Amino acid sequence: MKLITLTVLPLWAWILSLILQGTLGQSSLKTFSPDLQFDNYTLILKGQRIFLHSGEFHTFRLPVPSLWPDILDKFKAAGFNAISVYVHMGLVNPSPGVMDFDGYRSLSALYEAARLAGLWIVLRPDFGQYINGETTAGGLPHWVTSQVKSELRTTAADWNAAWTPYIQAIIGQTNQSQISNGGPVIAIQIDNEYDQEEGGPYFAEMEALYRDPSSGIEVPLTHNDPGMLDAFINGTGAVDLYGMDAYPQGLVASNLSIWNPIEMGYHTYHEEANPSQPWYSPEFQSGAFDGWGPDATGYEDWRAVTDADFVSVFYLHTWASNAKLVNYYMLYGGTSWGALPYPYVYTSYDYGAAITEARTLTRKYTELKLQGIFLRSSPEFYKTDWIGTSSSNLTEGAIIPSSPLTSPAFVTLLRNLDTGAGFWIVRQNDSTSLALSSFKLNVTTAGNQKLTIPIVASSINLDGRESKVITTNYAFGSRSRTLYSTALIFFSGSIDGIDVLFLYGDSDQEHEVGLDLAGSANRTVQDHTHVQITSDGIPSTTIITVKSGFQGFIPLYESDTQLILFADKDTVSDFWAPTVASDNLTDPFANYWSIGTNETVLVGGPYLVRSAVISGTELALKGDLNATNTEQMPLTVIASSTVKSLTWNGENVSLELTANESMIRTGKISSTKISIQVSDLEALEWKFNDSLPEVHTNFDDSDWAIANHTTTNIPFPMYYGDGRILYGCDYGFCENVVLWRGHFNASGSEKSVNLSINGGAGMPQRHFSYSHSYSHISSTNNANVIEETDEIFDLPTDALLTGQDNVITVVQSEAINDDAKSPRGIRGFQLNTGNFTEWRVQGKVGGYVNYRDKLRGVLNEGGLFGERHGWHLPGFDTSSWASRKLSTGNPSSEAGIGFFVASFNLSMPQGYDIPMSFTFSEPLGQPYRAYMFINGWMMGKRVANLGPQSKFPVHEGILNYHGNNTVAVALWSMTPNATVALQLQLVIDGIFKGGVDVAVNNPSWSSELIEGR
């Protein structure tokens, strides 16, 4: 059946034509292909201006590719048209010459998912070498630590030889997915936050590889400057498109107690630094990372300090600087599972983002949606000139305070000089103010008409940390335009040839719009307590005022040519504007707004609307409902009059017209409430085995690597020893736990050993030292900023075997800092007398060269005995193990490491998205750390006396929602004779009817998978 598709509407096309013609005549246009250009205003894609409204998403932090469409749907539903994506070189290029784009490392799967969603991609492999992103080694592969002698991120020949194959592989994966080839990729970032004086020639080398004619790369190359540093705009290594990052609330916990003021210099800096390019923010703050320690804030606190108020004030201020390319870091943070995190941060990378780590939506997401749909609806906003502000002698308008007692406000005017549309962005003069600001606004319209608005309402209000976009001469639909509006605009456009304007505002404020009502009316608000309509004062203009106290949704005016709607902010927050893809099945851009489609519907009520398809007279909606609701969910649909029937996720929904000949229909979706039970983990049959046999006399380490190197490419010398280098990466062991065994023949005079151990700044490192059967514990325990320890351990004489081989065993938790050449390992070793005869080292089996688990990847596991033998994998036979509850801890009163394994079944209902988390519910403070594996994936590192993380979301796909699951916990008791009693629970974080189809791929234990262990 043929879909109903709207063509580009005449006024819309005329507006866009004017925009493009005006720009081409007034500024230099840079063309990369017929499909991709930019000027000093915006990107121009396939002839259409776009405001690049983007969110950061790291697919490697959601290692379930079938869940990527869930995140992309949520981006698109909030009005975003792009994603920014880091590529992690350490995962893709785990060892020299190996490129792995399978599974969660896939770029082709990401490109196709983004294309189907209608989202552009700014790719940030940053030559894969360095992405930062709070990942181990900043995203660099660990093998470069030991195999590249020269300084990294330079023009050194050995470093060039290391990164060139990786970038060639990125090019090979990407060139056919650029916009010119029907793909979503529109830009590639060269490197991350680098200094031009140091990195200019290096950038030039990288750019030459991308621009080699054989590469086929046509899209702009970009860079993100960490501040107003003018880096890579001109000179050696200059990129095509410069961008500047901004984190106005900072990235450290001490900033949570204050709200920093806005940065006033963005516009001036852009005009001075790169006025011929559009103003671009590749990373604008949307939260922050959080670090270890009992005083750490936790991500809910970061979400609070960068909440909806922050989005309102700081994001609109960025718009006011005339930025037209903005990427919010992060929009979805995800999980730094396995060895992904660098040492300062823990497993969660929630980031306080608008979409939580568990994939649920927040109040911040709603604010972003209100902004995103406005941007999508407002093509005139894409080409604006910065006219002036309250502090720069703005002559076209001014703030008029309602009384001397009110908090002063501030206005910035952006105007589209081709159409006359004005965008007056107002905020508190003191952007940190919590006071009420009430004022009127003097404006100049496109016809040079001077107005003081609102005209009927008493004032425009800003309630504390709030900003607004007040509009004049704003076009909506094919032939309509407001004179002004102090009400905010959620949506504007055409639906079935009707010009639609959807306004909103806070229920405790007044709102007003002045416009020419056209067409033959079939509905006009009359005798409504909270709505006043007047035609006096301004010729050809009707003024509609919504008074304070209005709640709900109301059609203000409906005719055969116009539909004017209003809702209070709480109500409009439940509305969505899904795009309706073109029915041209051969168009790769069928779901891209303004390029493949201009058709949409409005839907009010659901938790999420993912998609809309019109087929004949049927509208098919897909989305999610909050399944904790007990009542029927009211549904409001505004769609073409040809729509006669509706389905929601394939189920029929009855519709009723709200008035004759109306586009507005209502219906109800049946109750979705469902009761779900999950396993009580405490009640499971837990099995236990010792995972530190390396401390025993009879342990055979003959197949471990001999640590006998005397030279290293790591530029940090040993502190003391006998010339041997004991850095894990030199022997191929960089990730997670690494074990060392130092042998010496005792003379009887040995009294102590001095050890210096480096595990990573900020990493809560711990290590054990053992001499034969004697054990002694040293740890940083409750400190979270110690990079390395240097301590002397006494060796009691009754622990020594005189004249025989004695062994000291060191267990090290390893993480690589931003500096990939960090000296992780033992930096000093010395007995008080005598020497070590031999050192041996073991990490994950095979190291980074021959690791076995190719699906989960190089960063998933480490060198614990249990890991080396596959105890963490589903299907490992634990029937011969002792039964022991996890809550009872390790059996010995000594410090040690034990492995606990249990299995449980899940039987979740089909068609539901049910986020779950594993939660350690015992109070913070017990001296243990735990590595938690779910179906073989290391999904959590718990440090119980540091915190703050106690809750670990684990997604479907890692969890099997329709079958058996294995949970394994490697429990490291840090202190002898201390109580360690874990309380691990599986909890449900939400129940949503809908979701996406999720595939499970968790390889089980097999002899091939653990060969050599």
Residues marked active site are found at 193, 283
| Angle made by CA atoms 430, 432, 433, in degrees to the nearest 5 | 70
Neighbours of 765 (CB within 10 A): 27
Q: How far apart are CA 80 and CA 995, in angstroms?
A: 19
- Of the candidates 427, 423, 472, 419, the one whose C-alpha atom is nearest the C-alpha of residue 445 is 472
Query: In sequence order, which ranges of 511-585 are alpha helices (DSSP H)?
Result: 569-572
Neighbours of 69 (CB within 10 A): 21
Residue 824 carries which side chain, given as an amino acid letter?
A: R
Residue 648 carries which side chain, given as an amino acid letter?
A: W
Residue 916: both structure tokens together: 């779950």
Q: How far apart are CA 11 and CA 580, in angstroms?
A: 20
**Do 682 and 919 contact (CB within 8 A), yes or no?**
no
What b/e readout covers 654-691, taking b as 16+ CB neighbours within 10 angstroms? ebeeeeeeebbbbbebeebeeeeebbebeebebbbbbb
**Do 868 and 811 contact (CB within 8 A), yes or no?**
no
Strand segments, DSSP code E, in 717-850 are 726-727, 736-745, 752-758, 766-771, 774-779, 788-794, 805-814, 825-831, 838-842
**Do 369 and 79 contact (CB within 8 A), yes or no?**
yes
User: Angle 108-117/68-77 helices, nearest 10 degrees?
Assistant: 30
Q: How far apart are CA 718 and CA 443, in angstroms?
A: 70
Q: How far apart are CA 88 and CA 66, in angstroms?
A: 19
Show Cβ contacts of residue 655 under 8 Å, excluding neighbours closer than 6 positions: 637, 644, 645, 646, 665, 666, 667
**Do 438 and 37 contact (CB within 8 A), yes or no?**
no
- Whether the link from the prior residue into 948 is cis, omega within 30° of 0, is yes
Residue 595: both structure tokens together: 């390029």
Residue 334: both structure tokens together: 């995800």
Show Cβ contacts of residue 17 under 8 Å, excluding neighbours closer than 6 positions: none
Strand segments, DSSP code E, in 352-444 are 385-389, 398-401, 409-415, 422-428, 436-444
- Whether the link from the prior residue into 454 is cis, omega within 30° of 0, is yes
Strand segments, DSSP code E, in 34-79 are 36-38, 43-45, 48-50, 52-57
Q: How far apart are CA 935 and CA 988, in angstroms?
A: 18
Write down how long the chain is.
Answer: 1013
Rounded to the nearest 5°, which phi and psi values hold at 748? 100, -10
- Of the candidates 722, 709, 971, the one whose C-alpha atom is nearest the C-alpha of residue 823 is 709
- Of the candidates 797, 779, 796, the one whose C-alpha atom is nearest the C-alpha of residue 788 is 779
Residue 139: both structure tokens together: 């995203």
Rounded to the nearest 5°, which phi and psi values hold at 245? -80, 155
List, as one string, the DSSP characters of 168-180. HHHHHHHGGGBGG
Residue 513 has, within 13 A of its CA and on its CB side, a CA count of: 25
